[in-house]
Structure 1
């Protein structure tokens, strides 16, 4: 209030509200046209409007005499659209594209806060807008040209027209009687795109007469923008309190209450969605996404939502498949509904979709023909089921959309156990309904003996195999040590063969390392991937020699890989290593199994460093996926450039190009040329959305 003395009032202007054109005033915008190039001087050939939809079409002439107009192109377009014939249905009667059509689209459904203002003699007159429309060129003439082209192709095709007519006459006709439409089915039909298009087409066009900006009729209509009765004293006095006046200027938004959906199938914004109860939020989300991981679901809900409450609600509308949540069939196909493709009742659709979901609990891949053969449903219905939860892979089948969420399975074993019991019940019903053969149904005892998910991933199988090999190798080692200890009694007499291994007469101290070897009966075999030779004097050191050879081969792979890639995440490095091993001949030492720890140790020994990228806390990447390794010294002229770049990414996981360039300039005292900059960025980074990320730290977008 003390600053009011420094900000005096210079002028007071009266504001009046004009209502003469409040239901007829539209604001036209041309978003693809510069403001300096108006259509005021362009000849308007016709105008029409659909008042209820607020849809306007304007037909404007094109200046064909303008030197910038290509006459040959205009003639070609007119020929493609109308052909060689000229009649009253022709779009371009002059055989030249001499006009264009503009169609409108509504920018907003609520224009109550917008008005047109006009200033005259110290007064401002406001007229509320009835609509704001954006007009863009319409290319409907191209559709007409395509139709003409199809007609010409049909006319050129050979065939006996009389035979075609006979075949049409004897075509079989199938008569179906529609079921009584439920309320939910009616709401879905009303909200469909086809229904909205049909309703829009039912409204008739109202043809208008266009008057130019300088026409006398336009000048007469502009007078209605002024308030007609503002001289009356009752209209000039403001009797509202400041709070009431502020409420009139900025009224509360009623659009949300007006557009509130009446069924979960409606499309809602996230702000509207979060106003609903938690159970309704989850049901709407699951009906739209069909398949989602629990961490992704939590990220869509409001911050601070209780995970326990979410778990309680999600189990009411979804089932657990491979650690992810898939919406229940009865949520997508409510009772008393039917298939839009075949008219099959909802009960049959639910059973068929449950069978597809159950198949995905057994394997990541499902074959469409197998599903159709068991469920006896039409191909469109089966395709809908599979598209809900899988991707089509050429020559392989349908693969489940998401990978197995082992993190959720590990954190919530009670939920997994409860879901397994539900699937056992569903499996029993499916076996009874579809009379599943033994090969279709998974053994029930397997589900009851373990608390892991019904699908065992490849990594779990590898871990189990490694554990089994280690257990077997440990038993062999113990047996060898026991027999070797027994053989020490007769060692002084002569060399002795123990377990097919030649043991020398040198004394063995207690500090001597006890090497492992093959057990009795093994000759020239692989034990844990290491080759052991019978009666070899160096066989006791075979394990150590094998480990050295494994390390050497692994080191060669790591060095060659980082020379090409420079920056790799641990998950990407493991993927490349698996491809490398798959290309090796049988019996190679690397088939013995390389642990993640061993791979990381070799990476660090080859001169690479782990870059501690500060990922944001909301990212749901696994810990291994957040491990980033980079080649610190490649021995070329760009080593220092890359080191500075990697230090920048140790402070932020995404950086703009100008930040990197300025940092390099500060370090070198001069600007780095574009070629060097591009080389460094190409070696270590990828660009997405105007930002630069280290390789592997951001998912690449596909078009």
Structure 2
């Protein structure tokens, strides 16, 4: 290229590129070559999904709209008759005697996906995740094979009389026994490469059944967060400092003439010299996996001198969690997926839940009792002991005490990280409460105040209290002044918001449920988050809201604290002050839902015409925890008038989920 070319082609913008690896082993690109992109399957009901991971073979089962004017009912019934016959059986492909579903089967578009990745662009940053596979989904016609088999069976039954005589004659013949010769290596290779052998081998791999989540589902939102590089710190210098010659050598490394023979030793032993040859993230992960519990200062001492602490902080948050100012390795790092306990054979997923409960207990107090932990997580004593030995030591008459003192210096120096970790623990706590069916208050010491999630000094506490008192006074003055203006300019509307006055107690009013003015600790960012999240989901339980808030806080870059630490009461007040209300759903006494899952909040006033429809729906759920579609249609006709099927379907999809012919508010369906 000529030197003058730089003037003709100037650099307009520089974009930072980050490599996200959280989904690198599970990210597939699905293509639908037989259908245009404008006609996607996002709104189609997915009945089932299964995969064979080794073969990268995926099957999706989708419902067909049998009420569509384009659907030929006679053809659908004929296909079901050919496939299943006239008998009614649980193994029938089409249980309703009509072709009401279709199956899509995958074909690998390419076997080498090393050159392909999925990228997302956010706030001037490009986050790239490598693809595991690229699959083309095409309609499967396996039901035709089943219909052919049915036809052959019927023909065989008709010829049954003649065949029985032939079989009798064959039975009278003498049987000659022959011994096969030893199989040669060439014959063995041909057999292994044969189509029948490959088909048999592929059939041996079991199907792994999956659960499909729609594009707007909260679980999908949760998984999409992993497309971003976790805990990205924009202040970290990630520029390429290699010379052109060094960069070329990295792209095309020279072929090694001889291999250096490493001295033999145990596979789990790694010297410090070997450790420092690894990337920084791998160094931190290896150290934490072996040590289990470590203060940040000790970790920096084990790394090479001159290592940037900001880069280490970004790496440590990917493999460890903060407990009393010290870093504890994450459970899924110790117990990877598809592994089992060496003591009892318990799967890794169950081990991770139990260990997370133990670590969460240590975020609240210095000592825990082993019997108390075992009674909750119900794991074998050997596994519980292993969890405790990682981070604690036994004390006489005091149970197991946390191994290290609280690192207050780290918390004071990095309050943003401490706050983010506290929000992550809130999300973990919500999941544990649902799995083990307990409440945080069950473990609070009696006659003692609840410990603060972030350890701060007495002087800091006093200053925060003084600031809060001053803010309360200023907020109260503003509200009093605003109320005077309202009273002078326009009268306050005191009309009940429900047609039936007796129902006024079924919801928490924005000003009638004790919420009062917004707490001074509420930030504008939190208010914006509440408005945005309820505009998106319309209905959320307190448990789900806290989980989404934790994800939001975790995605905020380090060094920027925009959402203060708040109690559940403050969070509820913030929700109620932003055009939302609480629905007192009458759950049955034997419900399995956790307390936070029984607190349901809804968007009451969005300024749209659909508010009237949703209010009727919420009124029904204030009387029953589940409803039928006919109940909703009758209530809408009575309160509003004729409402189109499309509007009802859209509202139910936005606010509810269906199970066993009943509709539940989102997040309230018992599992």
Interval containing the TM-score (normalised by the shorter chain): 0.3 to 0.5
Bigger radius of gyration among the two: 1
**TM-score after normalising by structure 2:** 0.36
Higher relative contact order (CA 8 A, sep 6+): 2
**TM-score after normalising by structure 1:** 0.34
